[in-house]
Chains A and B, each alone.
Chain A
Amino acid sequence: MVAGELVSQSIVNGILLGGIYAVAALGLSLVFGIMDIVNLAHGHMLMVGAYVAILVFAATGITPLIGMFIAMGLLFLLGIVLQKVLLKHVVGEGLEQPIIVLFGLALILQNIGQLVLGGDARTADLGIPGNGIDLGFAFLSLPRTVTFVVAVVLIAGTWAFLQYTRTGQAIRATAQNRTAARYMGIDTDRIYVITLGIGTALAGAAGALLSMLFPINPFVGWSYLLKAFAVVVLGGVGSILGTLVGGVILGVSENLGALYLGGGYRNVVSLLIFLGVLLLKPEGLFGTGGGGE
């Protein structure tokens, strides 16, 4: 592999990784953009989704690509219960209270994971061979390519849902102006329940996809939360296209940073880009600056 191929391979790897980052960030972005809360438990919900896929795979041999839908269903229910039982009391009461509730939830999920499953790293098998397609200038890892495609489909599906369904339009209306949406007859409390359900279901989907590429343990939640947060800031809060672009930028910059500066500086380039966007375009690359009340 010559130097030029190393660069193109790093870019391809970064793009494929970026798709996963994007889907990991999508639910966070949605909830942040619509409900104005930072879901600090998002990474841990992702971890739960990963474990669901892993356990389903271990018990039945069902590939996580199918197990992903079970994870999404369970996490959707978790999101609904969470909103109805806990968050409805604190949403709209400022940033601090939801953050405290969700931080507590993250710790609870982490400890339950550890108690029930131990601290060992676990993985699920995609069920396809560990090879791929040689493009000449780069090698396309089949597992990564499959998960990337699924991630893009999920992102596109979420966009279509928000764009073309009545519930999606109501969600967007609530995001733009909660009070006005209420005046227009939208049940914003119900919208919040659905939004959190979708956000957590997407975390579950991301977890299931990640479980096919990376070992999962109960402590991975924080690191994926940080990645997702960086993607949301890069792409712009609530922007679905921005999430995909932000994820890809993060993935590619990490890989190029590792190639040129060394793996020890893997995150330096992506963090510099992150800081640059915060300084020059704080609403993110595709952010609108927010609507709000």
Chain B
Amino acid sequence: MVNDESPVTRRSYLKGTAGAAAMAGLAGCAFGGSGGGGDDTLTIAGTIPETGAFSSLGQDLRRGYELGHARMNEQLDRDVELILQDDESDAQTLRQNLQQMTSNNDVNMIWGSFSSLLVTAGSAFAENQNLPFLGIAFAYEEPHRNDNYEWTYAPFPKSRDVARSTLGTLELIPEGERPSRVGIWEPNSGWGKEQADYWENRLGDAGYDIVLRETFEIGSQDFSTLISQSQSADVEVLLSNPTPGGGITAVNQMQSNNWSPKMLKFVRGADPSAWWSALGNAGAYALMCPGWVPGLTGNGNQRLRETYMSEYETESQYMPVNVGGSYNLTQVALQAVQAAGSTEAEAIQSALRSETFQTVIGEFGFEDNGLPAEGDLTAPTGQWWEGAQRLAYPNTGSQRALEFKYPIPPWSER
């Protein structure tokens, strides 16, 4: 298995396959090259939200993919072509782009995009085309369980992992100071319900009081009723998974209504850097589970950070979270192709099902339905502090991690 600290390895499948490679080359010539570059080239199609509602994340995803693509070209014995297009944060556009990319190229694998909405759209296309598909920022479990996925794999913590890490984060607080009253704001979506169910069950079983569970519409601009209800129920821990815009709106209104919980976790809502640019210090203390957070160690984290800093000429100690998340995806792709020893879809699929992967988010394998194997992944929990997201849980001892900041002080004391 390759990792970023090891020297470049050659794949065993090449041994004694020179003849087969020559045949493949001839076949490529015979068909005149269809843009994929022939059988030796691994062609990956992907979409990212460079415009539209999720555009603040597009650049981070692109950078993670580009760094991973460069690493794949270093470590694989074949050319790797990465074709990325803007999906405009729109599922229909995403599908059209994938259709066009796969029509014009011999695509071997698809990567893609951000959020359950867009990732499931890409996944549906890949399932239809029998192409291996990797997607992050995709915590929603139900599609994996109910849609009989065969080609979709999510190297990303799922709803159950998010609930588990919420419990872990709470356990960082000394027992005597630990809050007990939990409120859940549930977006009216499939993932919203799934995540709320996991939180309610997991935290309820652990002895926490779920004193509030209320739904809200995705895209809602007014959270004042939820804020009043939370205040009335004396909510100490507020959990939700709003869209980024919704999360920012909610905190804005908590401030103007002079109420805040002692602990705030907005999965996905607090993921993008727009959180800080819109809220500034009002966004401090917020927790998120973006899949990767500065402060994680091992499996190539240090090299990723150094490459990122030199490639993009930044001195920031804190890389954007979605760079790490998307880079982790590319590590899975690299290791799957290495293990498969082929660019054939079935071989890559088989490797995805059977191998264990070491990436910047940890070590894990996949279940047959594409979920990361239960218990393998801890959802790393980041916390906004002084303009950056830093690892609060689990404790890695990294200088880029922080000691979990609790409780959130009242607005008047901030």
Residue ranges of A at the interface with B (Cβ–Cβ < 8 Å):
1-2, 5-6, 9-10, 13, 17, 114, 118-123, 130-132, 139, 141-144, 213-215, 217, 219, 223, 254-255, 258-259, 262-267
Q: How far is the CA of A85 from the CA of B96 in the complex (A)?
A: 36
| Chain B, range 353-369, C-beta contacts under 8 Å to A | none
- With contacts A130-B411, A214-B249, A215-B248 taken as known, whether A119 is within 8 angstroms of B226 at the C-beta atoms is no
Query: By DSSP majority rule, is chain B's interface helix, strand, loop, or mixed?
Result: helix
B232 touches A6 (CB 8 A): yes
B252 touches A9 (CB 8 A): no
Report A207 CB to chain B, min CB distance, Å: 13
List, in ascending order, chain B residues with CB within 8 A of A9's CB. 228
Q: Does B74 contact A (CB under 8 A)?
A: no
Report B155 CB to chain A, min CB distance, Å: 26
Which 6 A-B residue pairs are closest in the complex by CB-CB distance? A263-B216, A119-B55, A264-B215, A1-B232, A264-B188, A130-B255
Q: Does B100 contact A (CB under 8 A)?
A: no
- With contacts A118-B55, A263-B215 taken as known, whether A17 is within 8 angstroms of B412 at the C-beta atoms is no
B258 touches A255 (CB 8 A): no
Query: Given A10, A143, A262, which contacts B215 in the complex, CB threshold below 8 Å?
Result: A262
Report B25 CB to chain A, min CB distance, Å: 44
22 chain-A/chain-B pairs, Cβ below 8 angstroms: A6-B232, A114-B51, A118-B56, A119-B53, A120-B277, A120-B278, A130-B282, A131-B258, A131-B412, A132-B257, A141-B257, A141-B258, A215-B248, A215-B249, A219-B53, A223-B221, A259-B225, A259-B229, A263-B215, A263-B216, A264-B186, A264-B215
Q: Does B253 contact A (CB under 8 A)?
A: yes
Closest chain A residue, CB of each to CB of B244: A121
A13 touches B224 (CB 8 A): yes
Report B395 CB to chain A, min CB distance, Å: 32
Interface residues as binary, B189-233 with A (CB distance below 8 Å gives 1, 0 otherwise): 000000000000000000000000011110111101110110110
List, in ascending order, chain B residues with CB within 8 A of A130's CB. 255-258, 282, 411
Q: How far is the CA of A217 from the CA of B411 in the complex (A)?
A: 26
- With contacts A119-B89, A215-B249 taken as known, whether A263 is within 8 angstroms of B52 at the C-beta atoms is no
B55 touches A213 (CB 8 A): no
List, in ascending order, chain A residues with CB within 8 A of B185's CB. 263
Q: How far is the CA of A143 from the CA of B257 in the complex (A)?
A: 9
List, in ascending order, chain B residues with CB within 8 A of A262's CB. 214-215
Residue ranges of B at the interface with A (Cβ–Cβ < 8 Å):
51-56, 89, 185-186, 188, 214-217, 219-222, 224-226, 228-229, 231-232, 244-245, 248-249, 252-253, 255-258, 272, 274, 277-279, 282, 411-412
- With contacts A119-B51, A119-B55, A219-B53 taken as known, whether A263 is within 8 angstroms of B220 at the C-beta atoms is yes
Q: How far is the CA of A184 from the CA of B253 in the complex (A)?
A: 51
B216 touches A266 (CB 8 A): yes
List, in ascending order, chain A residues with CB within 8 A of B217's CB. 263-264, 266-267
List, in ascending order, chain A residues with CB within 8 A of B186's CB. 264
Report A55 CB to chain B, min CB distance, Å: 13
- With contacts A114-B55, A122-B278, A255-B222 taken as known, whether A263 is within 8 angstroms of B258 at the C-beta atoms is no
Q: Given A213-B256, A219-B52, A258-B216, 6 more contacts at CB 8 Å?
A: A1-B232, A122-B278, A130-B282, A143-B256, A255-B222, A266-B220
- With contacts A219-B53, A264-B217 taken as known, whether A254 is within 8 angstroms of B222 at the C-beta atoms is yes
Report A265 CB to chain B, min CB distance, Å: 8
A119 touches B56 (CB 8 A): yes
B222 touches A121 (CB 8 A): no
Q: How far is the CA of A123 from the CA of B245 in the complex (A)?
A: 11
B220 touches A217 (CB 8 A): no
List, in ascending order, chain A residues with CB within 8 A of B278's CB. 120-123, 215
List, in ascending order, chain B residues with CB within 8 A of A132's CB. 256-258
A217 touches B257 (CB 8 A): no
Query: Given A1, A120, A141, which contacts B274 in the complex, CB threshold below 8 Å?
Result: A120
Report A217 CB to chain B, min CB distance, Å: 6
B54 touches A119 (CB 8 A): yes
Report A211 CB to chain B, min CB distance, Å: 11
List, in ascending order, chain B residues with CB within 8 A of A10's CB. 224-225, 228
- With contacts A121-B244, A263-B226 taken as known, whether A213 is within 8 angstroms of B253 at the C-beta atoms is yes
Q: How far is the CA of A147 from the CA of B222 in the complex (A)?
A: 15
B232 touches A5 (CB 8 A): yes
B256 touches A258 (CB 8 A): no
A215 touches B252 (CB 8 A): yes
- With contacts A119-B53, A119-B55, A120-B277 taken as known, whether A214 is within 8 angstroms of B225 at the C-beta atoms is no
Q: How far is the CA of A199 from the CA of B274 in the complex (A)?
A: 32
List, in ascending order, chain B residues with CB within 8 A of A139's CB. 257-258
Report B413 CB to chain A, min CB distance, Å: 12
A6 touches B228 (CB 8 A): yes
List, in ascending order, chain A residues with CB within 8 A of B256's CB. 130, 132, 141-144, 213
- With contacts A123-B278, A141-B258 taken as known, whether A214 is within 8 angstroms of B55 at the C-beta atoms is no
Closest chain B residue, CB of each to CB of A145: B256
Most A CB within 10 A of own CB, among B89, B214, B221, B274: B221
A119 touches B52 (CB 8 A): yes
Q: How far is the CA of A239 from the CA of B83 in the complex (A)?
A: 55
A217 touches B252 (CB 8 A): no
Report A125 CB to chain B, min CB distance, Å: 9
